[in-house]
Structure 1
Amino acid sequence: MPKTKFQGIVFTIMMVAVMVYTMICYNISLSAGGLTNQVFLTAFHELIIMGPIAFILEIFVVGKVSHFLAFRLVKPNDRPIFILLAISSMTVCLMCPAMSFIATLLFKNAGSELIAVWLQTSAMNFPMALFWQLFFAGPIVRLVFRTIFKKSLIIAERA
């Protein structure tokens, strides 16, 4: 969807902010035994740490690998929705365990149970991350992105 490097960076920042903030809220809620108003405020403290980590991971590793894996499932001439779903799904498949591992290291105090806590965290996060990405975050971020870059995207499509 982004046509330039700048647009790609803006899109990644938007997607990371929405996905990471939501997943932090989800994990805090799991730990606290439920969602409260305080969770939304507490999540901002972790977002300052996890947001840049997710951005760097996405830009330098996951973005390239998820596209490679997605295009092993779909072809460039397939319907755009199938390409979008393949890329989004592969991104979640890579980002979820990676970010769960980082969160486990930074916030879970797992000690000698690091692998077990990481696997449990990944298993709890994956369904939420996939559902949120495919049905909410992805469509909302793409809508906002298209709105912001409407003119330049139209020009790029005509060229």
Structure 2
Amino acid sequence: MPKNKFQDVIFTLIMVVVMVYAMVIYNISLDTGKLTNQVFLMAFGELPIMGIVAFFLELFIVGPLAKKLAFRLVQPGMDKMIFIVLAISAITVCLMCPLMSLAAAVLFKGGLQPELLSVWIQTAALNFPMALCWQIFFAGPLVRGIFRRLFPEKEPEAQIS
């Protein structure tokens, strides 16, 4: 996991690309009624906009808040790492999903309109199960694996007595 601010930025950037791209594909598929090869290309159009929103939300608001809330449930050094990772991941989705769904509703589903609240709630309700499953089972393990390859932890050197 990230050990300094630089690593945190890199981890967040990779996670945002993986999560946002998948969620944009999912939302376009919902809007069009099917998943086609064209949807994968269309998603690249929304990725920069939603990616920037997600990056700043995660880095400055949601990430720190998710860790603070997760550490009320689990304690680093006392609980198994898998429980810590799952707690942070689940809370991050609980916070990011409504925020990103609001951004998507405003930017891509009619903007500031009288039906915004309804569109937002529906978007968040449809997105939440996908976001949670994608994060826990695919994006999280994939991004942590990539991150470990980019920033391998050094093995402690054996002490010679």
TM-score, length-scaled by structure 2: 0.93
Q: What is residue 149 of structure 1 aligned with on the other side?
A: 151
Gaps of 5+ in 1: none
Q: What is residue 122 of structure 2 aligned with on the other side?
A: 120
> Counterpart of 1:116 in structure 2: which amino acid?
S
> Counterpart of 1:146 in structure 2: which amino acid?
R
> Counterpart of 2:72 in structure 1: which amino acid?
R
Flag as ranges the 4+ runs of structure 1 deviating above 3 A. none
Q: Say which one has the larger Rg.
A: 2
Q: What is residue 41 of structure 1 aligned with on the other side?
A: 41
What SS does the aligned partner of 2:115 have?
helix
Q: What is residue 4 of structure 2 aligned with on the other side?
A: 4
CA drift of 1:60 comes to 0.8
The percent identity for this pair of structures is: 61
Q: 2 CA distance for matches of 1:75 and 1:4? A: 19
2:104 is equivalent to residue 103 of structure 1 = yes
What whole-Å deviation, never above 9, does each CA across 1:55-74 have from its counterpart, x for those lacking one?
00011100111001101111
Gaps of 5+ in 2: none
Q: 2 CA distance for matches of 1:154 and 1:38? A: 43
Greater percentage in helix: 1
What SS does the aligned partner of 1:67 have?
helix
Q: 2 CA distance for matches of 1:74 and 1:141? A: 22
CA drift of 1:42 comes to 0.6
Q: 2 CA distance for matches of 1:120 and 1:149? A: 39
Q: 2 CA distance for matches of 1:2 and 1:154? A: 13
Q: What is residue 15 of structure 1 aligned with on the other side?
A: 15
Q: 1 CA distance for matches of 2:4 and 2:64? A: 15
CA drift of 1:48 comes to 1.1
